[in-house]
Amino acid sequence: MTRRKFMQSSAAATLAASASLANAGVGSKDELLLVGTQTTGASKGIYAYSFDEATGELKQTGLAATIENPTFMALAPGGKRLFSVSEASDFAGTTGGGITGFNLDRSTGHLTEINAEPTGGPGTCHVAVDHTGHCAFVANYNGGSAASFHVSDDGHLSKAVSFFQYEGHGPNKDRQDKPHAHRVTVSPDNRFLLINDLGLDEIHIYKLDAKTAKLTPNEPPAWKSAPGAGPRALCFHPNGKWAYCVTEMTSTVVVFDWNAEAGTLEAIQTVELNPEGYKGETGGCDIIFDSKGRFAYVANRINDFMASFTISETDGKLALMERTSCGGKIPRHIALSPNDRWLLVANQVSNNISVFARDAKTGKLANSGKSFELAAPQCLVFA
């Protein structure tokens, strides 16, 4: 199957008529949604939206914070603070990107800056906060590095506590000429930090001292993917026993057993995102689960589709249900609404946020959804 035929098939599925898949009988409730953007165009920073969980309607309520390239954000436990990256090469007069902490007014969505710190490397693309709210972590894609920061009781970020500059390259000369740290993920028990490195085909694993935010290499220090796979995204199942890695360059999902005591990953399944026989350009992007951990949803940002999976209750393995449209071009991030009735997609190139109804019983998504215009959306966080 060629990329052209695959895209034609996907487009046909999108045009198919579909009944509403949202559950009935749930009362109207507005949720606060914060959206990070790429600010090289019309967008100016982080935007606040009111999301109607009964109808799936989005209403922009204002610019929550003016900040350069807030392409990823993380909400701290308790929901009163937000941390955002600035994916830049020059931040506050220093070479590299930045991390900024904000106090969040949940009633208005307004963000008030606490302080900001340089990350030590350019292209800061991901941020995570630990389960205590006192540690923050960043991945620097262009710099091929990662750093940790301590967060005080009043929300102030320290200078970098730990910093790791990776070296080497992968087999793909165009995409893996050097390290590319892409995601930072805290383990469910808060004892480890895992860092996806697309350039080196590795997931680096560190022991975390949550009192200080200090990281020390685990033993073994990393999991190695298939050559040229490009590990991009990582997410733990709600039960804490399994982890799932989306590879960007080979567009697969690798399912792991997670050894919480040793801090190690054991691959038990690899699932293809594209149809059998497809050999064209591809790009696995992101993965999320419903709150009960019965279904997984994965975005492909080159072929512009969503892949929906069931999750085995016994071993966590995935089984493909269907592929549907992402509602735009180049999906960068996906999120489920708090009541699990809607799946939202931030589509960067088509400048829109798509909202798809979801059937909680079957896990299936509507083939077509609502669309809301925003220049270069990158990250979706319900607060």
Please give the structure tokens belonging to residue 161.
Answer: 């506590």
How far are the Cα atoms of 231, 277, 310 from residue 245, in angstroms, in the given order? 7, 22, 16
Please tell me the predicted confidence (pLDDT) of residue 1: 46
For residues 235 and 185, the answer to whether their CB atoms sit within 8 Å is yes
Query: 81: which 2 tokens?
Result: 């603070």
Which pLDDT belongs to residue 329?
98
- What is the CATH number assigned to the segment(s) 3-23+30-382? 2.130.10.10
* Spans of all domains in the chain: 3-23+30-382
- Position 275 scores a pLDDT of 95
Q: Which long-range contacts (CB under 8 A, 24 or more apart) does 56-62 make?
A: 56/22, 56/337, 56/341, 56/342, 56/355, 56/357, 56/369, 56/370, 57/370, 58/33, 58/353, 58/355, 58/370, 58/372, 60/372, 60/374, 61/108, 61/109, 62/108, 62/109, 62/110
Q: Calculate ∠ Cα 91-157-80, nearest 5°.
A: 110
The pLDDT value given to residue 61: 97
Q: What is the dihedral of CA 307, 308, 312, 316, to 10 degrees?
A: 50
Q: Which secondary-structure segment (H or E) carries 7?
A: helix 3-15
**Burial (0-12, 13-18, 19+ Cβ within 10 Å), 180:** buried
The residues with which 192 forms a beta bridge, in sequence order, are: 207
Give the Cα-Cα-Cα angle 141, 37, 15 (nearest 5 degrees): 105
Q: What is the dihedral of CA 301, 147, 45, 324, to 10 degrees?
A: 20
pLDDT at 24: 31
pLDDT along the chain (383 residues), means of 10: 43 35 46 97 97 97 98 97 96 94 96 98 98 98 98 98 98 97 98 98 98 98 98 98 98 98 98 94 97 98 97 98 97 98 98 97 96 98 97
Residue where the block lists tokens 């004892």: 191
**What pLDDT sits at residue 21?**
38
Task: Quote the pLDDT of residue 148.
Answer: 99
Tokens 């269907």 -> residue: 322
**Residue 139 and residue 74 in contact, taking contact as beta carbons nearer than 8 Å:** no
Q: Which helix (H) or strand (E) holds 9?
A: helix 3-15
Q: What is the pLDDT of residue 67?
A: 97
Q: What is the pTM of this model?
A: 0.92
Q: How many CA atoms lie within 13 A of 297 on its CB side?
A: 28
Q: Is residue 98 a contact partner of residue 117, using CB atoms and an 8 Å limit? A: yes
| Confidence (pLDDT) at 366 | 97
45: region left, alpha or beta (phi > 0 left; psi from -120 to 50 alpha): left
